[in-house]
Chains A and B, each alone.
Chain A
Amino acid sequence: AAPPLYDVVVSGGGMVGSAMAAALGHDVHFHDKKIALLEAGARKEYDRMPESFSNRVSSISPGSATLLSSFGAWDHVCSLRLKPFRRMQVWDACSEAMIVFEKDDLDDMGYIVENDVIMSALTKQLDAVADRVEVFYGSRAVGYTWPLPSHSCDTSPWVQIELADGRRLQTKLLIGADGHNSVVRKEAEIKNLEHRYDQSAVVATLHLSEATDNNVAWQRFLPTGPIALLPLSDTVSSLVWSTSHDHALELLTMDEESFVDSINSAFWSNANHTDFIDSAGAMFRSAISLLKPSGTGVRQLPPSVARVDPESRAMFPLGMGHATEYVQHRVALIGDAAHRVHPLAGQGVNLGFGDIACLAHHLRAAAFNGSDLGSLKHLLKFETERQRHNVSFITAIDVLKRLYSTKLAPLVLLRTWGLQATNALPPIKVRI
């Protein structure tokens, strides 16, 4: 007997893969379609969230929140826990320059949500459409067989998938959401431009010295890399500190008190300032205030950290990647499989959710037109739209990363003035 035929198979059950499967499963145009989600790990039960916060969190943009609420997952997130933030303060360790992002209407700029909370919400919504979306846990795809673009003979026109346990599936469209080391991308022989940064990110859950509104996300660019404090509650924040591999290892192994001291020093110390830069910066600031009296915004002081959650320290290496093609006949890549970025802008998962919104839009139009779901015609539209959006964004993040990785005066001056100018100019800030 022929292996079971699905309309769509999503490979990879992380946040992006699960959201893709859930989005299609809840779409009325996919009511009669068969969807499968392949996840190598075991099913995790998320019935109750532990008291302590997880150390892996994501900054969810309002656009991503809209996508998640389109299939009922955002409600679950809200009923579990999340922290909205209203303001983002980003500043340099080598100068006084800073930029503040704030929405005029006092709306939420974004939300800090633990990845486990997002997965719990997605799992619930997948369960709700279990008759349409079949989730295969503990299933790793080990081989793919690609069909010829225009078959006219006896070979199957579908993608053949072989699982580790020998089971086989067929699908009209394969969506690769299997992360930056995507097997789908490799097997489809899609070239990937990648680069390993000589940096690792250290994450931890921190307790603040005193309770505060804690609705500001803080990021300071140190010469070794950016350090960010993301609010989780009035007393707890999440740390994401990108730094050299050696320093990261040091941070991981030092005792808790020293760790806390390093963090506070990173945020408060002015050791990297030079007189030259300071006066040049001050000069520029007064020049701007002549043109734009409202000036460069109020500088708030970041909170100080009292202690770190034991066992919450972890590190992972950082890199950047971009697939030269997002689609092929009967294949589409989304999330980190298509593009991998530095966490400095907190946008990694948002780019993935943006991919989902775009791909789902084109797939539902194709379904409503009776088209073959794996046809390149609409897949190329998805690719064009997302590459246009992603490439400039990813390049900008990479440039920022390199620009801020130095103490050299000319570059510091450049970014100081650049940051101050950007802070003073509303149009650019709104675009970001």
Chain B
Amino acid sequence: LFRLTMKRLSSTSHSSVDSKEMKKFQLLAHKWWDEEGEYSALHSMNDIRVPFIRDTLLNMGRNYHLGNPLSGVKILDVGCGGGLLSEPLARLGASVTGIDPLEDNIRTADQHKSFDPVLDKRIEYKSCSLEEIVEESMETFDVIVASEVVEHVADLEMFINCCSQVLKPGGSLFITTINKTQLSYVLGVVVAEKIIGIVPEGTHEWEKFVPPEELERLLESNGFSVKTVNGMLYNPLSGSWSWMENTSINYAMHAVKLAAREQPSPTDELSEMESKKHSATAGAAE
């Protein structure tokens, strides 16, 4: 029964957006806000991802008021879809820019926030890809959230690189995604999509799942320091998410963009080798 679907990734475009992926979401563009519908698992994921983002930021020592904990924080929600995560973050006081390559998603998101004047003011939605805003948004954002997105992008390294460019030094990057394991294939694709149907069928391709070790490696080699990795578990009976140690299925990651002087530079490596030689000769001289 266990069959790997071998698909070649078409990365000929200079874009992190995968057009095949876009087609999948097109059909469900108007289903975002039905809490009991196709996206119910994403709605309930807010119960753990919003507190995770909120508490991580509050613990980074900023002054805040409990009534408006994220006031003054500029957040970029990449792959915002219908705005499921943008809205709670904005309610907590943040200024949110939500981007999604699919126009219909942005249309749904815009329409949903329009009835609430506070959200309308704090959130701005744009239909575009991450690369398209890099030039005008260099080092603009305090926080980037890429939730349930990196398993859909065409070129992950370029995606991370763009994140780094639009993020202020010391800024935070939050990612939630799915691990690439046998378990995640069975539970995340077979069971979730084909058997229980809590995720619309065809949403995920196991080949594109990203193991946390690989994500961490890519982040650290692009100027980020990974601070937290936590496993997440979905209970289909209760429809709720919880944290767990094990990252075999879903996981969340928090990384911080290193400030300029903290960047490891090529000269450091050389001097490291020299000091090693030094201690070796010192030892020999004894």
Contact = CB atoms under 8 A, between A and B. Distances in A.
Interface string B67-96: 111000000000000000001111111000
A152 B30 contact: yes
Given A32-B68, A368-B92, 4 more contacts: A30-B67, A31-B67, A370-B92, A377-B35
Contacts of B57: none
Interface string A4-40: 0100000000000000000000001111110000000
Interface in A306-320: none
Given A369-B50, A375-B35, A156 B115 contact: yes
Contacts of A368: 54, 66, 69, 92
A72 interface: no
A157 interface: yes
B47 interface: yes
Interface in A150-178: 150-152, 156-158
B37 interface: yes
A66 interface: no
17 contacts: A5-B116, A28-B67, A32-B68, A32-B93, A150-B35, A150-B37, A151-B33, A152-B108, A367-B91, A368-B92, A369-B47, A369-B54, A370-B92, A371-B88, A372-B87, A376-B35, A377-B44
Contacts of B65: 28, 31
B91 A152 contact: no
Interface string A355-380: 00000000000011111100111000
Given A158-B115, A369-B47, A31 B33 contact: no
A150 B115 contact: no
Interface residues of A, number: 23
Contacts of B117: 5
Contacts of B69: 368
A131 to B, nearest CB: 13
A181 to B, nearest CB: 32
Contacts of B50: 369-370
List the 5 closest pairs (A to B, CB-CB), nearest first: A31-B67, A370-B88, A370-B91, A150-B34, A370-B92
A150 B67 contact: no
Interface string B34-70: 1111000000101100110010000000000111110
A157 B113 CA distance: 10
A32 B119 CA distance: 13
Interface in A266-287: none
Contacts of B115: 156-158
B43 to A, nearest CB: 8
Contact of A31 (B30, B68, B91, B92): B68
A32 B118 CA distance: 11
Contacts of A149: 35
B116 A150 contact: no
Contacts of A371: 46, 88, 91
A206 to B, nearest CB: 48
Interface in A110-142: none
B90 A370 contact: yes
A370 B68 CA distance: 10
Nearest to A147: B115
A372 B35 CA distance: 12
A152 B88 contact: no
Contacts of B91: 367, 370-371
A371 B117 CA distance: 16
Contacts of B89: 370
Contacts of B36: 150
Contacts of A156: 115
Given A29-B66, A157-B115, A158-B115, A152 B33 contact: yes
Contacts of A369: 46-47, 50-51, 54, 88
Contacts of B92: 368, 370
A311 B210 CA distance: 80
A303 B183 CA distance: 75
A403 B30 CA distance: 58
B143 to A, nearest CB: 14
Nearest to A375: B35
B44, B54, B91 interface centre (most CB from chain A within 10 Å): B91
